[in-house]
Amino acid sequence: MNVPANCKYSEDHEWIRIESGNIAYVGITDYAQGELGELVYIEVETVGETIGAGEVFGTVEAVKTTSDLFMPVKAKVLEFNEKVSDSGDPSLVNSDAYGDGWLVKVEIADLAELDKLMDAKQYEAHIS
């Protein structure tokens, strides 16, 4: 199971990685994509909105199920990854969850909220 040390993790299996300052990328973990199976559709209609920690910012649809996506910290959604959108390839999340398969780029409201999330070791314990 791939759990990069440069990310923070939520109990809902989302990861967040700081890019620069308070700008970050959010996606679902390798564990989550494995549990869901092949993703066929990803919907994010919250670009431009500020979403609270734990609130839904979109959905992912796999062959057998649909699952909500939860924002790990309060953040403004700046961008939805075109590579995984309708015109792209949602299965990128399955093959590269922490790279090209990121879901949204966000502006974090309060960096201190990251301290409430799990680090890689804590997340590994959470999923084992």
Residue 64 is assigned to a structural domain of this protein: yes
Confidence of residue 18 (pLDDT cuts 50, 70, 90): very high
Range of the domain at 88: 8-110
Strand, helix or coil for residue 57: strand
Sheet of strand 66-70, all strands in order from the earlier edge strand to the far edge: 39-43, 56-62, 66-70
Q: Tell me how many domains the chain contains.
A: 1
Confidence tier at 117 by pLDDT (50, 70, 90): very high
For residue 117, being part of any structural domain is answered with no
CA distance 47 to 95: 24
pLDDT band at residue 86 under the 50/70/90 scheme: confident
Burial of 128 (0-12, 13-18, 19+ CB in 10 A): exposed
pLDDT of residue 87: 86
Would 29 be classed as within a structural domain? yes
Q: What are the pLDDT digits (tens) for 43-58?
A: 999 999 999 999 999 9
In this structure, is residue 122 part of a structural domain?
Answer: no
Summary mean pLDDT of the chain? 97
**Does residue 67 sit within a domain?**
yes
Tabulate helix, strand, coil % of the chain (nearest 5): 20, 35, 40
In a domain, 116, yes or no: no
Structural domain includes residue 119: no
Would 12 be classed as within a structural domain?
yes
Higher pLDDT, 22 or 87: 22
CATH of residue 29's domain is: 2.40.50.100
